Chain A
Amino acid sequence: MTVLRTQGLSKSFGGLEAVRDVDLSVPQGQVRALIGPNGAGKTTLVGLICGRIEPSRGTVSFLDQDVTRLPVHQRIRRGMGYTFQITSVLSNLSLRENVALAVRPREKSEDVVEGEVVSALTQVGLVHRIDQHAGDLSYGHQRLLEIAMGLGQRPKLLILDEPTQGLSEGEVAAFNSLIRRLAGETTVLLIEHNMDVVMAVADEITVLDFGAVLAEGTPDEIRKNAGVQAAYLGTG
């Protein structure tokens, strides 16, 4: 089954076409990486997918339903999860409350919520800090909390916008194995600059350049693609 499909998705800001005719199709359970040079339109594209930005043209289907006109919160309730590029955890609230807020829209019982909060925080290794304020965490830990919030949503599609930025090497390794564990049940759309992470976790890679899809394929194919090397990886 295709979890996410975009057709002719485009967005212009004034004269600038930030995203141009993107056709994207992500099957169930896949880890899809979205890469491209700075300003290639990656964040705009995921903004269009989850509804933070309105498209100029094109459609977005999620779980075989057209969601192009749905507001953000309804797309999230249908099973999209989104973690921010710039950490935006709720700093004055505890880790528990941060993750609980992510769980509650799909779960009525507070006892179940509490159980899932503990489980999500355990998965990212922050459960011992459950009562601390999110703002007291280091930057790397705030990123992990973001991921825990994403997990707490139990999304069918998890969109991660540069999740490993600012993480230490050890944390990146832990992140990689977390994503591999998720793969299969959760579909993941990963925007990532760290090519080691991309090559390690992605099933398929979509390369974006100047707002359009430049190439698509397995990590090996992308590595060998001459156009990608020129545009992005460097020819050296």
Chain B
Amino acid sequence: MSWYRANRWWVLRLARLPLDIFVFGTIAFFLVRLLPGDPVSVAISSRSGTVSPEAIAAVRTQMGLDGTVWDQLLRFWGGLFQGDLGHSLVTGAPVIDEVFSRLPSTIELIVLGLIGAFVLCLVLGFLYLRFANRALRASIRVYSSFATTVPVFVVAIFLIVIFYVILDWLPAPLGRVSSGTLPVITGFPLVDELLTGNVDLFGETLVQYIMPVAAMVLTYTPNLLTQYIGGLDRELVQPTTRFQVAAGVPRKWIFFSVFRRSLSSVVVVFGLFFGSLIGGAVTIESLFGFGGIGALGVRSVQSVDFTALQGFLVVVVAVCLIAMLVVDLVNMWLDPRRRPGIESEAS
């Protein structure tokens, strides 16, 4: 019982996760049906000649769009509980397969880009504290002020123009491999290439990743860095840091302590970007000819593919919710005052 009391917070949070997904899925179900256009007429418009009402009804039934909206909602719920998101209205493939064949490659790209940005942010934060050089500190601060001002695709286009068009140091942005198909085991391209022993393909994909990952690192580092530098500036003048110096704590410990105390808002911003990029990475993916989950969303809006779109939304929300859960757990580890059930005086 005491275990439950101590761990209640995250147990309940885990238990609530499916509920949140269910509620959001229901909202997505209705929102998707507000899209202008009827998928049945889209499907039929490609046929030549007149189409009988019976044929239209048959197509409607086949697509699962017969009956009232409430009938459809019940079928959607039923599928949701079994982990079945229905079949795409356009390709006829199960939506869950469509989603999970694309999700890992997007996650791979986001993880590389954001982890790169996080590492660069830590390095610049370290330089910011370690060296009193005015010019260095001012330029780090200027770089951090670029936060949210330049979109990632602008940086990516600049990189393509410079390193492919002008210098020709990097290959054309035309997909993860120049020819052939990617092996599929886990769905994560780099992992699969290693697992199947295709070292050549692995190297090729790595080279293709240089520009998109660099664009993401350059674009997202300032967002993390403003939070980090703000935290460092704040913690540096805190009595805590002064007392650590005055009590004779070795400098290595003081650095670590200041870093740790400044990190929580960086972790939050990291989580927010991770969530928004699940769908939002589509701009950079399409620029470099990569497939990804975002492309599925765009395609299903264009083709009024209700089931694919609502499946896409449910999965994106699930990933975001899990990311925010991880953010909270990391922050609780960084700062024990955030742990549930702790009443702290003004900190």
Do A and B pair up? The answer is: no
Interface residues of A, Cβ cutoff 8 Å to B: none
